[in-house]
């Protein structure tokens, strides 16, 4: 997605103009990977590898077999992403994804939700430059009612993961560690986020999409949705039911 660069906008003004803010900028939702084995399905059906976090090594080997230099680039990220694009709409991965929305996300929200039906899988191979400069989704989507769903299928930290600012308009981006089995839910319309050059030695395979209350159009509904998600996850964590 083309995004407006941070330097081009008044970052602190964005969120301020939008009115009341959610209780927190982001929250982590944990789920059971035995029930939703996204990584195993991707490894089996799409990439034909056992270790998604080692995809960069397989790509390097592929390049070597074709007499190409080992250095990876953005083209390699796209080439691997295209492998997912060849999957049919009713592929096992998408059935699992829709099952997750039906059985985990929608009950958590407690109301009908709209969500992206076939979002793009993102690949950030170790050894490649940033795949997304720092931005705010609202500048592109113009959808103040939406919040962000970001699920990695490899354990990511440091330069392999998403970077968020600590508060609206701060611009002090730091990496958010997210394990496979967790979804980062964050206020990406207004909270700056992006990625950096991946020098971690770990490839990130992730899926990101935005969701909202069905028929929502306003920022107030987006804030209400974010607060609802935070409250339900906090309550479950307090009950020692971290795994949904």
Looking at the Cβ atoms of 137 and 187, the one nearer to Fe ion is 137
Q: Are 175 and 161 in contact (CB under 8 A)?
A: yes
Nearest to 36 by CA among 89, 92, 90: 92
Looking at the Cβ atoms of 76 and 137, the one nearer to Fe ion is 137
* Interacting span for Fe ion (CB under 5 A) from 98-106, 119-127, 137-145, 236-244: 137-145
Query: And the tokens for 215?
Result: 């028929």
Looking at the Cβ atoms of 46 and 138, the one nearer to Fe ion is 138
Q: Cα separation of 241 and 244, whole Å?
A: 7
Number of residues engaging Fe ion in binding (CB under 5 A): 1
* Interacting span for Fe ion (CB under 5 A) from 28-36, 103-111, 130-138, 211-219: 130-138
The DSSP H or E segment spanning 231 is helix 219-238
* Interacting span for Fe ion (CB under 5 A) from 25-33, 113-121, 134-142, 235-243: 134-142
Closest CB 131 distance from Fe ion, rounded Å: 11
The answer to the question of residue 137 lying near Fe ion (CB under 5 A) is yes
Closest CB 146 distance from Fe ion, rounded Å: 11
Q: In what order do the strands lie in the sheet with 193-194?
A: 174-175, 163-164, 193-194
Query: And the tokens for 134?
Result: 């720092």
Closest CB 132 distance from Fe ion, rounded Å: 6
* Interacting span for Fe ion (CB under 5 A) from 26-34, 58-66, 136-144, 197-205: 136-144
Q: Are 39 and 47 in contact (CB under 8 A)?
A: no
Closest CB 212 distance from Fe ion, rounded Å: 15
* Interacting span for Fe ion (CB under 5 A) from 60-68, 101-109, 135-143, 158-166: 135-143
In the bound complex, which residue of the shown chain has the CB atom lying closest to Fe ion?
Answer: 137
Partnered with residue 152 across adjacent β-strands are 206
Helix (H, G, I), strand (E, B) or coil at 146: coil
Closest CB 207 distance from Fe ion, rounded Å: 13
Q: Are 150 and 186 in contact (CB under 8 A)?
A: yes
Helix (H, G, I), strand (E, B) or coil at 121: strand
Site string for Fe ion, 64-83 (x = CB under 5 A): --------------------
The answer to the question of residue 187 lying near Fe ion (CB under 5 A) is no
Query: And the tokens for 121?
Result: 């899988």
Q: Are 131 and 189 in contact (CB under 8 A)?
A: no
Closest CB 188 distance from Fe ion, rounded Å: 5
Q: Are 148 and 210 in contact (CB under 8 A)?
A: yes
Closest CB 235 distance from Fe ion, rounded Å: 28
Residues at the site binding Fe ion, with contacts judged by CB under 5 A: 137
């Amino acid at each position: 997605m083309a995004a407006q660069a941070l330097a081009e906008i008044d970052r602190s003004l964005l969120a301020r103009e939008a009115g009341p803010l959610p209780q927190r900028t982001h929250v982590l939702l944990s789920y059971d990977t035995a029930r939703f084995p996204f990584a195993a399905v991707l490894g089996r059906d799409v990439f034909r590898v056992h270790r998604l976090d080692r995809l960069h090594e397989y790509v390097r080997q592929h390049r070597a077999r074709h007499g190409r230099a080992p250095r990876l680039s953005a083209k390699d990220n796209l080439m691997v992403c295209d492998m997912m694009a060849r999957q049919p709409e009713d592929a096992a991965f998408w059935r699992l994804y829709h099952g997750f929305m039906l059985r985990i996300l929608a009950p958590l929200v407690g109301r009908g939700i709209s969500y992206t039906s076939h979002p793009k899988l993102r690949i950030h191979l170790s050894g490649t430059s940033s795949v997304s400069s720092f931005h705010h989704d609202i500048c592109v989507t113009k959808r103040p009612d939406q919040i962000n769903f970001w699920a990695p299928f490899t354990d990511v930290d440091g330069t392999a993961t998403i970077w968020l600012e600590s508060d609206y308009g701060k611009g002090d981006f730091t990496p958010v560690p997210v394990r496979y089995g967790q979804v980062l839910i964050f206020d990406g319309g207004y909270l700056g986020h992006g990625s950096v050059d991946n020098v971690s030695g770990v490839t990130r395979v992730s899926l990101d999409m935005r969701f909202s209350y069905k028929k929502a159009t306003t920022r107030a509904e987006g804030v209400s949705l974010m607060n609802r998600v935070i409250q339900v996850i906090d309550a479950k964590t307090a009950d020692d039911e971290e795994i949904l």
